[in-house]
């Protein structure tokens, strides 16, 4: 199973008002394991860079002025994406910009049927909690100390780790797949990496922090319970 984790940086929030894609970073997963294959590119947006956007990702007009146009790299990007499922955080935003750029190049848009949104996954897994990439990295003990500003490839690398946790953690892809599915994964990517379970580095236990807000919501929930089991146990020992 091949999936692509990707992230974008842009000049703003809405491609329909003239904002453009300026960076994309992609990470390949095979059976939910990073294969080591990546795609990364900066693009010249052919417009000014608003100060508010530059403050987020640090990409200036000067830096982007000698970068290729999206149209110059669209074929190699599509070749990397193939027909794989595409995973992004707040995916409609990234899909919106990607499809807008494809439309400007007279290329078919990517179907939303291929979209996996990790924000929606996080809301289901952790209702009531914060679902930003930073918050999820904190929840899962993922080191993001090197993330000073947003960057498409760096954020895709962090999101790949978050996605693996959201889909069951590191136990996925430890070799339980049948031979046929393994052969299919090998055929789908030249960069497929087979890792024997015995060779995998051990991971330290993850520490899950509970915020004061979550503790308060838990206390309120407990107060709504009638005759909980622990009250019965307390009455027997009292």
Q: State pLDDT tens for residues 3-44.
A: 999 999 999 999 999 999 999 999 999 999 999 999 999 999
The domains located in the chain, with CATH, are: 2-206 (3.30.420.10)
**CA dist., res. 57 & res. 55, Å (int):** 6
Q: Check: CB of residue 18 under 8 Å from CB of residue 47.
A: yes
> Rounded to whole angstroms, how far apart are CA atoms 89 and 140?
16
**Paired strand residues for 117:** 88
Q: CB–CB of 9/91 below 8 Å?
A: no
79 and 48 Cβ atoms separated by less than 8 Å: no
- Which candidate in 57, 100, 150, 192 is catalytic? 150
**Residue 146 known to be catalytic:** no
Spans of the chain, pLDDT less than 50 = 171-197
Q: What does each C-alpha distance from 28 to 136, 153, 179, 212 come to in angstroms?
A: 20, 11, 21, 37
Chain segment 49-61, per-residue pLDDT in tens: 999 999 999 999 9
């Amino acid at each position: 199973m091949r999936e692509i984790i990707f992230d974008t940086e842009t000049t703003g929030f809405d491609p329909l008002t003239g904002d453009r894609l300026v960076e994309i970073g992609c990470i390949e997963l095979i059976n939910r394991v990073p294969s080591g294959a990546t795609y990364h590119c900066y693009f010249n947006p052919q417009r000014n860079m608003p100060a508010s956007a530059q403050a987020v990702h640090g990409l200036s007009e000067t830096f982007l002025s000698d970068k290729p146009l999206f149209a110059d790299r669209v074929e190699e990007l599509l070749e990397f994406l193939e027909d794989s499922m595409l995973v992004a955080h707040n995916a409609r935003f990234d899909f919106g910009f990607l499809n807008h750029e494809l439309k400007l190049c007279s290329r078919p848009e990517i179907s939303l049927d291929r979209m996996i949104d990790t924000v929606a996954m996080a809301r289901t897994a952790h209702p009531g909690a914060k679902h930003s990439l930073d918050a999820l990295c904190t929840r899962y003990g993922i080191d993001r100390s090197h993330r000073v500003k947003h960057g498409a490839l760096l954020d895709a690398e962090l999101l790949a780790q978050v996605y693996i946790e959201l889909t069951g953690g590191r136990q996925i892809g430890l070799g339980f797949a049948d031979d046929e599915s393994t052969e299919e994964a090998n055929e789908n990517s030249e960069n497929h990496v087979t890792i024997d379970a015995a060779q995998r580095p051990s991971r330290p236990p993850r520490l899950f922090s509970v915020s004061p807000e979550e503790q308060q919501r838990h206390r309120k929930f407990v107060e709504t319970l009638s005759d909980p089991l622990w009250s019965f146990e307390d009455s027997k020992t009292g």
